[in-house]
Amino acid sequence: MSNFQAVIFDLDGTLINSVPDIANACNAALSARNHPLHNYEEYKQLIGKGLRNLCERALPINMQNEEEIEVCHEILMNYYLEHPCDETEVYEGIPQVLEKLHAAGLKLAVLSNKADVLTALIIEKLGLSKYFTIVSGLRKEFPRKPDPTSALWILSELSRAAGQEIAPEKVLYIGDSGVDMQTANNSGFYALGVTWGFRSEEEIRENGAKSIIHERSEIVKIALG
């Protein structure tokens, strides 16, 4: 019998490598406003708390005002919506993992701090929609991760789809950042950190990972027991 009834995945750095497209979109906004640009490695440290927050962190300190952030965010969103998957790739082995979990009857979901419209668009374009009961990005009605509100809403939707209540301890939450580990623990889920993403193993460990894995295939072993 499976250890878990549901699995919730972070998106960026967990299921997909999206750094190039996020970086290109943000750099397009910075360039349009004559601000210095950042390289891909720098963006790995800036990503994770939503695209508006990304704009704020990417701007020069003396330009981090509400007006400039809003202008850059709008440019970024317009660019990203036109180029959501130019260079984004699903991590090798992830489709096979999703197939096995789905076939085993687990309820699967995605929870991202990326804008909801972009999260759904990218999952669709990459051919992953068929595996997930719920795909949710950052929505106006919910605070962003690590606040547990959106994660617990997803749990209620997965329970409805399953026809029975799924207890929080029966949810495996998988992510690559400290924010993800905090989200899992704040929600009462099992926090599983992955090291192939954007953040360090140290960050994941310090923020409460119950386990840390280095290979995609290990997801199946933990999820199915």
Q: Which residues are the active-site residues?
A: 10
Q: What angle do CA 108, 109, 110 make, to 5 degrees?
A: 140
Strand 89-90 to 16-17 pairing: antiparallel
Residue that is written with structure tokens 């906004």 in the block: 29
CA distance 23 to 27: 6
Q: What angle do CA 156, 132, 217 make, to 5 degrees?
A: 110
Contact 109, 7 (CB under 8 A): yes
The alpha carbons of the chain give a radius of gyration, in whole angstroms, of 17
**How many residues does this entry show for the chain?**
225
127: number of Cβ within 10 Å: 10
